[in-house]
Amino acid sequence: MTDTHDTAGGNSTRTAVEDDRDPLFARIPRRDFMKAGAAAGAIGSLAGCTNLLDEGETTAAADVDASVPPGELDEYYAFLSGGHSGDIRVYGVPSMRQIMRIPVFNVESARGYGFDDETHEMLQEAGGYTWGDTHHPRVSQTDNQYDGEWLFVNDKANGRMARIDLEYFETDAIIDLPNQQGTHGACALMPDTRLIFGVGELRVPIPNDGRDLEDPSEYGSTLSAMSADPFDHEWDVRVDCNLDNGDSGKYGEWFFTTSYNTEEAVTESEMTASDTDYVVAFNIPRIEDAVDAGEFEEINGVPVVDGTEDSPLNDGDEPLVRYIDVPTNPHGVSVTPDGEYAIASGKLDPTCTIIEVDQLNEVDDANDAIAGRVNVGNGPLHTAYDGRGHGYTTLFVDSQVVKWDIEAAVDAEMGSADPVIEKHDVHYSPGHLIAAESYTGDPQGDWLIVLNKLSKDRFLPVGPVFPENDQLFYIGDDDAGMELVKDTPAYPEPHDASIVRADRLDPASVYDPDDLALEFISPDDEDNFIERDGDRVHVEMYNARNTFGLEDIVVQEGDEVTIRSTNIEQEEDILHSVAIPQHNVNIKLAPQETREVTFTADEPGVYWIYCAYFCSALHLEMRSRLLVEPAD
Ligand code: RUQ
Ligand code: CUA
Ligand code: CA
């Protein structure tokens, strides 16, 4: 029997799901469950948990303590993408307190990111775009475990990948991928982060130089591979279809992506015309052999290997790329912790398809690697793992998370719903979800975050732009079932996250000056000076509570001025900044950090230089003057 009960936080307002203008909803029959609820006149009972246990079994609420009292620290870091805010947000789990933001593709004033010369040049050299769209933050691993070194994330807007240094929690490199428009999926090659992949979503001519504008059959997309450190673009593989989400196998061989546009189409109706699309499986060692053997075309300076279906490299028994048919327009793909299966979520089809990774080397027809197909419900988008043999799949249309048994799904008939263990309402339309260390070989199996869109009535109204709703579940008690413990409003809009045990990271709290490119400026007189070379002025000055190393900086109208400054504080958390707002100067300086900034002093006048970080009781008095003398 089906046992339905309310949970705290259950809510019956489901306008998002019932909106018949929703293109997904229009395609998919409503779940029987909703009809049954409506017939009983008990819409309220739809909210909460549907526990599909055998008759006689009971559901007991798990005894979950998700509180983290003042002064105590969380057990996990969660790195959430900020979507088209362009940043990464760092949360503590289970408190869901937002601890920090890391600007990536956006300019951000509190951290002075994009203002000092180094970060400004990094953003300029990566295309000079003013924004990006982060989706998939992935932390580096060694031996299928998080190693806490790097975090990589895509830019779905501009076709870029970024690397974040987890010692300093700052973006330190960005690669603009020239043969890719819209990098969607992002993931490292497991087990050891030997390569980083950006998955190209939007089909374009390659190179996109004005050729084939009107001939979409000539468009293609690429999987781009980068080395982790140094962060360099290594090669691309070209395919004809589009590529969407991606995940790595666990043993360095296969990389999986979904494709929803095997029709090679341009419009929505054309892209959904076919009954099937692909999971595309890339054999990375074979692709590398092809690169080494010179079997590529160089396009925009990048070796591009032909991985299309008709490519001669895909002939024979060692194809570079295998194409597996799955029901129309799939979305997420993720590999189980043991590396045995790649599971693709159906999106327009109510199933998840289970591909047996090892079979890809055995079977002639790639479709014979399909080991199972489970009916999970309407609008399945992404699947996460608890390490106990369960998949957790978001159902965008049903506004639910469904927990199911992976081996039972392999054993069951294709399309059976029997492997489903439990469905739990979320609020509302969930996109991604992530369980603690789900992407590793050893998920922790306790916490699950579901990233919901269309949160509607969950928070105080704030006008027509709504926050998203990130919901925390406890999933550690299989008898009690999933337990919703927290709603967390999120600024638009997180897509994916990685949850990492706190003890796997070891961030610095003060800069090591040896790690920085610019030389440390001490308070000694000879370290603090103004030097002129024609109309180029170079200034060096330290800063500390509550002073800058120079009282006045006198320059001439029209001078190009570079100010370099070191925060000489040794004490944690004493930050200063150098702000000259009228010249758009705003650099932050953490303890022992040196930065520089270059600007043109184009208007004569007196300009106060101030420190924007509240650093002491005399913080307002911490200032200096820029005096720009009129040109004669
Ligand atoms: S993809 S949930 Cu990048 Cu699903 Cu957004
Ligand atoms: Cu230094 Cu405020
Ligand atoms: Ca399609």
CA of 273 to the centre of ligand 3 (A): 6
Q: Locate the ligand 1 atom nearest the alpha carbon of residue 136 and give its number.
A: 3
Q: How far is the CA of 344 from the centre of ligand 3 (A)?
A: 14
Say what the pLDDT of residue 34 is. 37
For the stretch 501-520, what's the b/e string if a residue is b when 16 or more beta carbons lie within 10 angstroms of its beta carbon?
beebbeeeebbeeeebebeb
**pLDDT, position 28:** 40
Atom of ligand 1 nearest to the CA of 381: 4
Task: Decide: 453 in ligand 1 pocket, CB within 6 A.
Answer: no
Q: Which phi and psi angles does 551 have, rounded to 5°?
A: -75, -45
144 Cα distance to chain centroid: 19
Q: How far is the CA of 303 from the centre of ligand 3 (A)?
A: 28
Neighbours of 619 (CB within 10 A): 16
Residue 81 within any structural domain of the chain = yes
Return the ligand number nearest the Cα of 589: 2
Regarding whether 99 and 20 lie in a shared domain, the answer is: no
Can you tell me which atom of ligand 2 is nearest the CA of 574?
1
With a 6 Å cutoff on the Cβ, whether 622 touches ligand 2 is yes
Distances (CA, A) of 36 to 4, 167, 516, 611: 11, 53, 63, 63
Q: Which of 134, 197, 201, 381 to mutate to test the pocket of ligand 1 (most atoms within 8 A of CB)?
A: 381
Q: Are residues 573 and 472 in the same domain?
A: no
Are 165 and 107 within one domain?
yes
The region, left, alpha or beta by phi > 0 then psi within -120 to 50, assigned to residue 620 is alpha
Ligand nearest to the CA of residue 138, numbered in listed order: 1
CA 590 – CA 570 distance, rounded (Å)? 9
For the Cβ of 501 lying below 6 angstroms from any atom of ligand 1, the answer is: no
What is the model's pLDDT at position 65?
87
Q: Is the C-beta atom of 30 inside 6 A of ligand 2?
A: no
- Whole-angstrom distance, CA of residue 263 vs CA of residue 266: 9
- The answer to whether residues 252 and 169 belong to one domain is yes
Residues 118 and 22 in one domain: no
Distance CA 341, CA 247 (A): 11
Structural domain that includes position 269: 76-504
The letter for the amino acid at 315 is: D
Do 494 and 526 belong to one domain? no
CA of 283 to the centre of ligand 3 (A): 23
d(CA 286, CA 320): 6
Which DSSP category does 418 fall into? T
pTM over 0.75: yes
- Report the candidate in 160, 121, 154, 123 with the shortest Cα–Cα distance to residue 137: 154
CATH code where residue 586 lies: 2.60.40.420
Atom 1, ligand 1: which residue's CA is nearest? 495
Question: Closest residue (by CA) to atom 2 of ligand 1?
Answer: 431
Predicted local confidence at residue 62, as pLDDT: 56
Distance 275 CA to ligand 3 centre (A): 7
Determine the atom of ligand 1 nearest the C-alpha atom of 451: 2
Residue 327 carries which side chain, given as an amino acid letter?
P
CATH of the domain at 491: 2.130.10.10
Atom of ligand 2 nearest to the CA of 575: 1
Residues 230 and 301 in one domain: yes
Residues 464 and 545 in one domain: no
Total domain count, the chain: 3
Neighbour-count burial of 72, counting CB atoms closer than 10 A to its CB (0-12 exposed, 13-18 middle, 19+ buried): exposed
* Contact yes or no for 67/74 (Cβ under 8 A): no
Backbone phi and psi for residue 241, each to the nearest 5 degrees, phi listed first: -75, 180
Task: Reduce the DSSP state of residue 74 to 3 states and report it.
Answer: coil
Q: Note whether residue 50 is domain-resident.
A: no
Instruction: Classify residue 513: in a domain, yes or no.
Output: no
Low-confidence spans in the chain with pLDDT less than 70: 1-62
Task: Give the integer Cα–Cα distance in Å for 550 and 68.
Answer: 45
Name the residue at shortest CA distance from atom 1 of ligand 2. Answer: 576
Name the residue with the closest Cα to ligand 1, atom 3.
135
Strands 160-165 and 145-155, bridge-based pairing: antiparallel
Query: What atom in ligand 2 is closest to the CA of residue 610?
Result: 2
Q: Report yes or no on 395 lying in a domain.
A: yes
Ligand 2 atom showing the smallest separation from residue 545 Cα = 1
> What pLDDT is stored for residue 193 in this prediction?
98
Check whether residue 499 and residue 523 sit in a common domain: no
Residue 55 forms part of a structural domain: no
- Cβ–ligand 1 distance for 184 under 6 Å, the answer yes
Ligand 3 center to 328 CA (angstroms)? 5
Are residues 500 and 361 part of one domain?
yes
Within-domain flag for 69: no
**Cβ of 619 below 6 Å from ligand 2:** yes
Structure tokens at 375: 């009916």
Half-sphere exposure of 257 (CA within 13 A, CB side): 32
pLDDT at 632: 80
Return the closest-CA partner of residue 81 out of 556, 594, 494, 565.
494
- pLDDT recorded at residue 64: 86
pLDDT tens for each residue of 451-507: 999 988 999 999 999 999 999 999 999 999 999 999 999 999 999 999 999 999 999
Strand order in the sheet with 98-103: 98-103, 87-93, 76-81, 497-501
Ligand 1 binding pocket includes 431 (Cβ within 6 Å) = yes
Q: Find out whether 277 and 271 touch, Cβ atoms under 8 Å.
A: no
In this structure, are 497 and 523 located in the same domain?
A: no
Domain shared by 110 and 32, yes or no? no
Ligand 2 pocket check for 544: Cβ under 6 Å = no
Question: Phi-psi region for residue 417, left (φ > 0), alpha (ψ -120 to 50) or beta?
Answer: alpha
CB of 615 sitting under 6 A from ligand 2: yes
Q: Name the 3-class secondary structure at 246.
A: strand
Task: Report if residue 63 sits inside a domain.
Answer: no
Q: What are 46's strand-pairing partners?
A: none
For residue 431, the ligand 1 atom closest to its alpha carbon is 2
| Ligand 3 geometric centre to CA of 274 (Å) | 5
Determine phi and psi for 438, rounding to 5 degrees.
Answer: -60, -30
If 0-12 CB within 10 Å is exposed, 13-18 middle and 19+ buried, where does residue 392 land? buried
Per-residue pLDDT tens over the stretch 412-433 = 999 999 999 999 999 999 999 9
Residue 217 lies in a domain: yes
